[in-house]
Every structure is written in C-alpha cells, then in structure tokens.
Amino acid sequence: MKVCKGIELVGGIDPECNIYVVDGEFIVDAGTGLHFGTIKKEIEAVAEPDILKLLINTHCHFDHTGANKKFRDWLKVSIGVHPADKDAVETGKGSLAEMFGHTPRIMTVDRVLRGGTLINTKNFSFEVIPTPGHTPGSICLYDKDKKILISGDTVFENSVGRTDYPGGSKSELVMSLKKLSELNVEYLLPGHGSPKMGGISFFIKQMVNFLTEDKKYI
Ligand SMILES: [Zn+2]
C-alpha cells in the first residue's frame, strides 16, 4: 500500500509490525518472520530486490526484528540499529521473543545508527532521531523537507508506545515526545496501525500533556 509518494507499507497485520519500503532503497523493520513469504511477495511487487541494501530496526522488539536473518539471507542487506538496542538485537535478550512464542534469535548488527545519521536515497534524506522510552534504543526517522516521520513504536495514530517492558521509561518517552512535537510533521508512519496525516504536532503535545498530568493523580 502506497502511504505517500515513494513509500510503501507492507505487512502490518497483527502480530506483524508495519514494514516500510522507502524509495525502493531501504526497509524499515522486519516483522516476526512468521509471514515472511507473503511479505517477500509484497516487497517484490513494489521494489527491485537488488537495490534494497539496508534494513533499519526502529527498536529491538521481536515483532520488528524477528525476520532480520530472513531478510539478510534474501537481500544480503546490512542491518542498522541504534547502539542502545544493539545488544538486544544481537543476543535476542530483551527482544520479547518469548512473549511472541519464540526463542530469542542471535543476529549481528552491521551498522550502528546514532542520532543525526542521515539515510539518503534518490528522493529522501531521513535523519535518525533517538527517541528512548519504549526501549532505550528506539529511533524515529525524519525527513525534514518531505515532513515525514517514521515513528516505530514511539508514536501511533491515536496513542504512544508503552513503557512497561524491560528497558522502558515513561520519563524518557515524555522527553522524546517533547522533541518530536517540535518537528514539522505532515505524515506520521507508525510501527503499528494506520498512518496519520496532519495535526501530528498537536497530537504529540496532547500526549505529553496526558502523560505528565497523570503524575498529579499518583
Ligand atoms: Zn515494540
């Protein structure tokens, strides 16, 4: 499904996360691997496999990383993740694989994506924005000119990421959301559920308010 010019959404049916194919050049998140055959066909319909060379994990959780090895075997892609989630991706510990009924998978990470790293394609320039909270190494990808935010499990259409899994932090999530609310975003492409257009900054500010107001009643 085309979500905006140059970006296709594949996967996304529970328990899979949304998988984005950006400009036919890189992929954001891998899914669990349970439906890899279907997802592979969806990707082949929208991109040239030879051109896809990078798979970015927005964070370490199994529903976003379980198929990393399958993608690497298929496309010989490099796998990129923020340093704070690198160990969890590599060892599978903290990936919540057990929660999805799987044993943790071991996988090497090829590329460490620090804040400020630019992922450039023919038509996009996405900056890596660290957004800890859901996990310590959660990242968003932001294209300033196109006003697109690929938000992983940090922000969804109507909610924000949960912080009660290992490594989660509500106070860090609030800081991350405050940072995101300053960005000029027209298209929100979350890790689950529907993309959202318009009113993004207002919505994120509302969520910050909701999360911080909450403290008064504890
Ligand atoms: Zn997650």
164-196 pLDDT, tens digit each:
999 999 999 999 999 999 999 999 999 999 999
CA of 21 to the centre of ligand 1 (A): 19
Closest CA to 91 of 70, 109, 105: 105
Residue 202: helix, strand or coil by DSSP? helix
215 pLDDT more than 70 = no
Q: How many domains, in total, are found in the chain? A: 1
| CATH number for the domain that contains residue 115 | 3.60.15.10
Confirm whether 21 is domain-assigned: yes
CA of 2 to the centre of ligand 1 (A): 23
For residue 216, the model assigns a pLDDT of 57
pLDDT digits over 35-65, tens only?
Answer: 999 999 999 999 999 999 999 999 999 999 9
For residue 94, the model assigns a pLDDT of 86
CA of 65 to the centre of ligand 1 (A): 10
CA of 118 to the centre of ligand 1 (A): 23
Confirm whether 13 is domain-assigned: yes
Given a contact cutoff of 8 angstroms between Cβ atoms, the answer to whether 105 and 69 are in contact is yes
104 pLDDT more than 90 = no
CA of 124 to the centre of ligand 1 (A): 25
CA of 153 to the centre of ligand 1 (A): 5
Confirm whether 143 is domain-assigned: yes
Given a contact cutoff of 8 angstroms between Cβ atoms, the answer to whether 9 and 43 are in contact is no
Span 69-88, mean pLDDT?
Answer: 97
Confirm whether 218 is domain-assigned: no
State the Cα–Cα distance between residues 212 and 204, nearest whole angstrom: 12
pLDDT digits over 130-163, tens only?
Answer: 999 999 999 999 999 999 999 999 999 999 999 9
Confirm whether 100 is domain-assigned: yes
CA of 125 to the centre of ligand 1 (A): 24
CA of 184 to the centre of ligand 1 (A): 24
For residue 218, the model assigns a pLDDT of 47
The pLDDT > 90 percentage for the chain reads 87
CA of 192 to the centre of ligand 1 (A): 9
Confirm whether 186 is domain-assigned: yes
Question: Could you list the residue range(s) of the whole structural domain that residue 123 is in?
Answer: 2-213
CA of 161 to the centre of ligand 1 (A): 7
CA of 59 to the centre of ligand 1 (A): 7
